[in-house]
Amino acid sequence: MTMMKRGLAAVAALMLTTGLVRAEDVEVLHWWTSGGEAAALNVLKENLAAQGIGWVDMPVAGGGGEAAMTALAARVTAGNPPTAVQMLGFDITDWAGQGALGNLDAVAGPGGWDAVVPAALQGFSKYDGHWIAAPVNVHSTNWVWINKAALDAAGGKAPESWDELIVVLDAMKANGITPLAHGGQPWQDATIFDGIVLSEGTDFYKAAFIDLNPEALGGPQMADAFNKLMKLRTYVDDNFSGRDWNLASAMVINGEGGMQMMGDWAKGEFLKAGKVPGVDFVCIRFPGTQGAVTFNSDQFAMFNVASDGAKAAQGAMAVAIMDPAFQSAFNVVKGSVPARTDVPNDAFDDCGKKGMADLAEANAAGTLFGSMAHGHAAPAAVKNAVYDVVTGAMNGNYPDGAAAAAALAEAVAAAQ
Ligand code: BGC
């Protein structure tokens, strides 16, 4: 056992036994309901079970977590929050601002979290200088997952630019498959849009989605981004509306679809289906976004709970999540990369190794940005305003990109 692990174990043991407090079962609210997600969740459940901590499952299906956040609000309003909640970005700091979250400093301090969790994540795991959530991973949204056989049949070259992307999509169409496997749900449309906006340039992404600059939101580059989204709409199948993201992944897995533009949780589905990167599928950054990353990090926020047993369970769960060996085991299955900078990449497949290297490179280069689609660029009100316009554009509500960009600038201004 390393010194640090010994320290963490001692803290957990102390919390569990001080005053004869026994950790209660943890009730965990999450939206990890697909095959790959459930497999990753099992890694966490089993880890806690090995420490004698029981699991009460509260799954609320729906990628991006919108439905889960609605369910959470109802529980908090009723004065009965779950022990731990999967949460993204600004949702965490918003709840902290309302004084609803507990304090994890007692485990974060001895665990040395300050030194190993990237600053970009700490911005959401800490509030007012105190740890309020334990980050379990780093996902990123600017990925494309391509069926290898379909790519080979379409010329074999993974696209590196928008023009090359269109060539491949056209070839896949000519080959009789659905070029772009997609589910028409606002968060999925917005996930693709993260990649498109980033491909317009890192300065542009920052100006539009982080700084919410009205000129960037309503200007010609945003118009171009919307025109690209509308172009991509021509490559989806007739049944795309409302489809769950993992069913779109399944289309690429079985060759009915050519590619999916989705965060790296999609890789969890490919792995669950026994597929191998480089052999059965290819992972690339959204063409034109190489060197930059739009990230989101799943964190477990711990709500204020009354009993010492529930508090002990929260501490033990947070310690388990932050264990380097757990971060490796969990993220290998989930498709994401560790939320700590000191976890070796040995256990990861080629896409995971690329994900870890890309994250480090983007962080060093200043090209690591929070994902708008997944709550790390702006608070929920702005995110939802972006969803509305992006989904409207995907569904033909605007005559052209310029009209959509104008609507976006207006919607974001109204939401602030
Ligand atoms: C979460 C992922 C999850 C995905 C689809 C994202 O917002 O960060 O962990 O797999 O939604 O459900």
- Mean of pLDDT values over 172-193: 98
| Poorest-pLDDT segment among 21-35, 234-248, 252-266 | 21-35
pTM exceeds 0.85, yes or no: yes
198-210 pLDDT, tens digit per residue, is 999 999 999 999 9
Coil, helix or strand at residue 299: strand
User: 122 and 147: one domain?
Assistant: no
Q: Is the confidence at residue 388, as pLDDT, over 60?
A: yes
User: 266 and 411: one domain?
Assistant: yes
User: 275 and 306: one domain?
Assistant: no
Buried b / exposed e along 14-45 (16+ C-beta atoms within 10 A): ebbeeeebebbebbbbbbbbbebbbbbbeebb
User: Which residue type occupies 106?
Assistant: A
* pLDDT score of 20: 56
Question: CA 272: distance to chain centroid?
Answer: 18
Atom of ligand 1 nearest to the CA of 374: 7
Q: Is the confidence at residue 242, as pLDDT, over 60?
A: yes
Residue 268 Cβ contacting ligand 1 at under 6 Å:
no
Task: Let me know if residue 96 belongs to a domain.
Answer: yes
Q: Whose CA is nearest to atom 5 of ligand 1?
A: 63
* pLDDT score of 6: 42
* pLDDT score of 10: 44
Q: Is the confidence at residue 297, as pLDDT, over 90?
A: yes
CA of 116 to the centre of ligand 1 (A): 23
* pLDDT score of 320: 96
Residue 348 Cβ contacting ligand 1 at under 6 Å:
no
Q: Is the confidence at residue 290, as pLDDT, over 60?
A: yes
Would you say the C-alpha torsion 259, 263, 268, 271 has a positive or negative sign?
Answer: positive
CA of 2 to the centre of ligand 1 (A): 32
Name which residue leads in pLDDT, 19 or 241.
241
* pLDDT score of 8: 46
Number of domain units in the chain? 2
- Mean of pLDDT values over 39-66: 94
53-100 pLDDT, tens digit per residue, is 999 999 999 999 999 999 999 999 999 999 999 999 999 999 999 999
Burial class (CB in 10 A: 0-12, 13-18, 19+), 321: buried
Atom of ligand 1 nearest to the CA of 265: 10
Name which residue leads in pLDDT, 222 or 21.
222
User: 239 and 165: one domain?
Assistant: yes
Atom of ligand 1 nearest to the CA of 64: 7
CA of 64 to the centre of ligand 1 (A): 5
The percent of residues above 90 in pLDDT, for the chain, comes to 93
User: 376 and 232: one domain?
Assistant: yes
Task: Let me know if residue 106 belongs to a domain.
Answer: yes
User: 287 and 151: one domain?
Assistant: yes
Q: Is the confidence at residue 241, as pLDDT, over 50?
A: yes
Identify whether the C-beta of residue 280 lies closer than 8 Å to the C-beta of residue 158: no
CA of 171 to the centre of ligand 1 (A): 30
User: 176 and 283: one domain?
Assistant: yes
* pLDDT score of 363: 96
Q: Whose CA is nearest to atom 4 of ligand 1?
A: 63
Task: Let me know if residue 263 belongs to a domain.
Answer: yes
Task: Let me know if residue 359 belongs to a domain.
Answer: no
Residue 31 Cβ contacting ligand 1 at under 6 Å:
yes
* pLDDT score of 306: 87
Strands 143-147 and 298-302, sheet pairing: unpaired
Q: Whose CA is nearest to atom 6 of ligand 1?
A: 64
Ligand 1 mutation target, pool 29, 32, 187, 336, most atoms within 8 A of CB: 32
Domain range for residue 245?
143-294+365-415
User: 279 and 391: one domain?
Assistant: yes
Would you say the C-alpha torsion 287, 254, 240, 42 has a positive or negative sign?
Answer: negative
Residue 63 Cβ contacting ligand 1 at under 6 Å:
yes
User: 122 and 95: one domain?
Assistant: yes
User: 253 and 307: one domain?
Assistant: no
Q: Is the confidence at residue 1, as pLDDT, over 50?
A: no
Q: Whose CA is nearest to atom 10 of ligand 1?
A: 265
User: 281 and 394: one domain?
Assistant: yes
> Where residue 286 falls among pLDDT bands split at 50, 70, 90?
very high
User: 280 and 185: one domain?
Assistant: yes
**CATH code, domain carrying 61:** 3.40.190.10
Atom of ligand 1 nearest to the CA of 139: 8
CA gap 384, 372 in Å, rounded: 10
